[in-house]
A and B are shown apart, each in its own frame.
Chain A
Amino acid sequence: MNGNRRRPTNSIEVNVLARWVVAVFFFGLAGLFFVYLKNQQHAVGDEARSVEYALREVEAKNEALKARITGLTSRGALQRRVDEGYIHLEPILDSAIARITPPQPAEPDGVLRTASRDPDSRFGGSPQRIISR
């Protein structure tokens, strides 16, 4: 007669099961994390695209405004303003012009002069002359 009175059962190996559960959990977690990262990537990409779009929009608006400013301040536009009387041209008499010696750049020899004595400066004849009222 068999002395073991326990009913024969299939034992559950908790250790192995736990190991598998943990492995599957981490695997699942990794998968979810991957999906989360992918979503984040898409979200950041969308954000980057929006920022790029906004930047282009601002640049385009800036260009448009610059072109408008150029148009409004062009010689033709200013001349029109003068003709309309919005801008007035005031003659400056020659006697009210003070001419001073223009700064002398370095000579070809590389030596910087401390003072200019060259009367033949650009479009100017006698640089020392000061005419004023």
Chain B
Amino acid sequence: MRKTGTRIGLVCGLMVTVFTFFAWRLIDLQVAQHDFFSRKAAEKHCIRIVIPARRGRILDRNGEELAVNIPVRTVTADGTHIRNPAVLAALAAPFLDMSPKDLGEKLSTQRQYVVIRREVSEEKAQAMIAAMDKAGLHGLYLEEGSVRSYPNAEMLCHVIGFVDHTGHGIDGIEKTFDRELSGQDGFRMIEHDRKGREIVIYRGQEQLPQEGSDIRLTIDMGLQAIVEREVDTTYKQLHPKAVTAVVSDPNTGEILAMACRPNFNPNRFNDAKPDEMRNRAISDMYEPGSTFKIVVTSAAYNEGIVDDKTRIYCENGHFSYGGKIIRDHHGYGDLSIPEILMKSSNVGAAKISLRMGDQCYYDYVRRFGFGEKTGIPLQGEISGLVNPPHRWDMLTKTRMAFGQSVAVTPIQMVMAMSTIANGGKLMKPRLVLSMGEGTSVEKALPVREVVTRKTAGYIATALQRVVSPQGTAPLAKIEGYPVAGKTGTAQKIGTHGGYLDGRYIVSFAGFMPADAPKLTGLVIVDDAPIGSEANYGGLVAAPVFSRIGSRAARYFDMVPESSGMMAQSGTNSLTAR
């Protein structure tokens, strides 16, 4: 009887020990090491999937799409789900534009995540999955993504820019506003089963993506198309090194069109050469030549150094100063200020500059915005080159008066000409009209008042005479609309200094209608191989300006001064057949 009791005691003790051990182990697993095992389980089954944010579109001022997204898929493989790589490869290879052999090698892996192919079109990816489902095969999966597409290809390429393979901006607006365009990716914590399918009821934390903002530019694609066509024609006909054209609204500083040649296709930016990718309107500086005469004349008139009655003796085209001779194209005697602009007299401009103090003249050059970045929201803008008076030699001031010894960017010149057009205010160039839900980025605010309205009006009136038959740019005339502007013809500078014979940068900067300016434009033709006799701003760039202005006037439906003049010209409407 006693022996039986001992046995029962032993069994009970054993049972207690065993169950105590189990209980301890249970507590250890469930409580003490809860976090560790939860993490291990999560690693096995829980994944954080990224919900990509849609990149914002880029639109022109009228809502025309300039940069859009095309949905594509990234095909990935989970080697642990693939039973027969060869069969799967044979089925999927045609959809992925790969050989079955190459695909088979990639699929013969035990890795859980292998990227097989990126940027597979939506149609092909879906067709592949459908074929796999039909054949009962597993192991290939699709990830969402998109590629950027520029429907207008080369048009406006330097302004829009492009994105790299990760979808981030590399140049242009795409780069400047990359953060706003990109938005913020979202995420979702999910658990998946053995086959990799999401178990929806165990869906965890979720954060929706913040979609990228659409950006509306100030560019008007109707006008841009006009400018592109004229720039393209000039580039093909004259074979210059480069052609640049910019059109802006002088009253607001809005850039309405901007085109450069050579250019590139942002859809295939890998094929582009660095020279083609440069936005010359902001990143090239050049000696402006006579277009710069608006600065010295405005400054002198604004300071009261010259007035309506002032006449400058132009030395019959040969003015010896500082041991050098300043020449005019033709010899002139006494010229008024408007006549100096009309005839583009270098001697006259130089003599006006000599009447001004160095610092005063320099201040006006800077006040017109030269020597500093305009602040246009594009990458790669340079500030040009304006030396301060203490670095001038004896000739610098007289040279600057007719656009030598100074280097400017095309956008600076457009803004300076706009200053004359709008009554004396230097405007900051605007390229973005709104971002997101109609939010205006910045208002059109003048940077500063450079000259008085009276001075601007006086110079504007003088610039109208440049386009007259007696001026240097009668070819800039636009039938029915008064035009004001200034030609520029500057010799190119060699890489080792000094001017290059027979090689010129010619330009025309102007605005229209001259009495109530709506558009300011600049056309620059760089180094056209057409001979020195024909290579003048008035002969090469002015006609391009005229054609752009003429077509722009019809596009904007500006009412001509005399409607009868316009009876023969026509605007275009689309008629499908």
Q: A91-B571, A92-B571, A123-B559 are in contact. Are A74 and B122 (CB under 8 A)?
A: no
Q: Can you report 28 residue pairs joining A to B where beta carbons are below 8 Å apart?
A: A45-B200, A48-B200, A56-B144, A57-B122, A60-B71, A60-B144, A63-B70, A66-B68, A67-B151, A70-B68, A70-B151, A71-B149, A75-B225, A79-B225, A87-B575, A87-B576, A91-B571, A91-B572, A92-B571, A93-B567, A94-B560, A97-B571, A99-B559, A123-B558, A125-B558, A125-B559, A129-B559, A131-B563
Smallest Cβ distance from A102 to chain B, in angstroms?
A: 10
Which of A59-114 touch B at CB < 8 Å? Answer: 59-61, 63-64, 66-67, 70-71, 73-79, 86-95, 97, 99
User: Would you give the 0/1 interface string for B549-563, flagging 1 where the beta carbon is closer than 8 Å to chain A?
Assistant: 000000011111101
B126 in the interface (beta carbon within 8 A): yes
A41 in the interface (beta carbon within 8 A): yes
Partner of B221, one of A57, A75, A99: A75
Give Cα A77–Cα B155 distance, bound, in whole angstroms.
11
B2 in the interface (beta carbon within 8 A): no
Q: Which of B558, B570, B573 has the most CB of A within 10 A?
A: B570
A49 in the interface (beta carbon within 8 A): yes
A116 in the interface (beta carbon within 8 A): no
Interface residues on B, range: 35 or more
Give Cα A86–Cα B153 distance, bound, in whole angstroms.
20
Asked if A87 and B153 sit within 8 Å, CB to CB, the answer is no
Interface positions of B (Cβ within 8 A of A): 64-65, 68-71, 121-123, 126, 144, 146, 149, 151-155, 197-201, 221, 225, 516, 518, 556-561, 563, 566-577
Q: A45-B200, A64-B122, A75-B155 are in contact. Are A89 and B225 (CB under 8 A)?
A: no
Give Cα A46–Cα B202 distance, bound, in whole angstroms.
12
What is the interface of chain A mostly: helix, strand, loop, or mixed?
helix
Contacts of B200 in A (CB 8 A): 42, 44-46, 48-49
Contacts of A78 in B (CB 8 A): 574
In the complex formed, the residue of B with least CB distance to A38 is: B201
Asked if A74 and B152 sit within 8 Å, CB to CB, the answer is yes
Partner of A87, one of B64, B199, B577: B577
Give Cα A91–Cα B572 distance, bound, in whole angstroms.
5
Asked if A123 and B225 sit within 8 Å, CB to CB, the answer is no
Partner of B570, one of A66, A77, A93: A93
In the complex formed, the residue of B with least CB distance to A71 is: B151
Asked if A42 and B71 sit within 8 Å, CB to CB, the answer is no
Minimum-distance CB pairs A-B, first 10 = A91-B570, A45-B200, A74-B151, A94-B566, A60-B71, A125-B559, A89-B572, A67-B70, A123-B558, A123-B556
Asked if A124 and B122 sit within 8 Å, CB to CB, the answer is no
Smallest Cβ distance from A53 to chain B, in angstroms?
A: 10
Give Cα A25–Cα B188 distance, bound, in whole angstroms.
41
In the complex formed, the residue of A with least CB distance to B200 is: A45
In the complex formed, the residue of A with least CB distance to B561 is: A125
Give Cα A67–Cα B152 distance, bound, in whole angstroms.
12
Give Cα A78–Cα B572 distance, bound, in whole angstroms.
13
Contacts of B121 in A (CB 8 A): 64
Give Cα A64–Cα B516 distance, bound, in whole angstroms.
45
Smallest Cβ distance from A20 to chain B, in angstroms?
A: 26
Smallest Cβ distance from B142 to chain A, in angstroms?
A: 10
Smallest Cβ distance from B495 to chain A, in angstroms?
A: 36
Contacts of B149 in A (CB 8 A): 67, 70-71
Asked if B566 and A76 sit within 8 Å, CB to CB, the answer is no
Partner of B574, one of A46, A59, A74, A89: A89
Contacts of A56 in B (CB 8 A): 144
Smallest Cβ distance from B561 to chain A, in angstroms?
A: 8
A-B contact sample (20 more), CB < 8 A, given A74-B152, A93-B567, A99-B557: A46-B197, A63-B71, A66-B68, A67-B69, A70-B68, A74-B151, A75-B64, A86-B576, A87-B575, A89-B572, A89-B575, A91-B569, A92-B570, A92-B573, A94-B567, A99-B559, A123-B518, A123-B557, A125-B558, A125-B561
Give Cα A124–Cα B560 distance, bound, in whole angstroms.
9
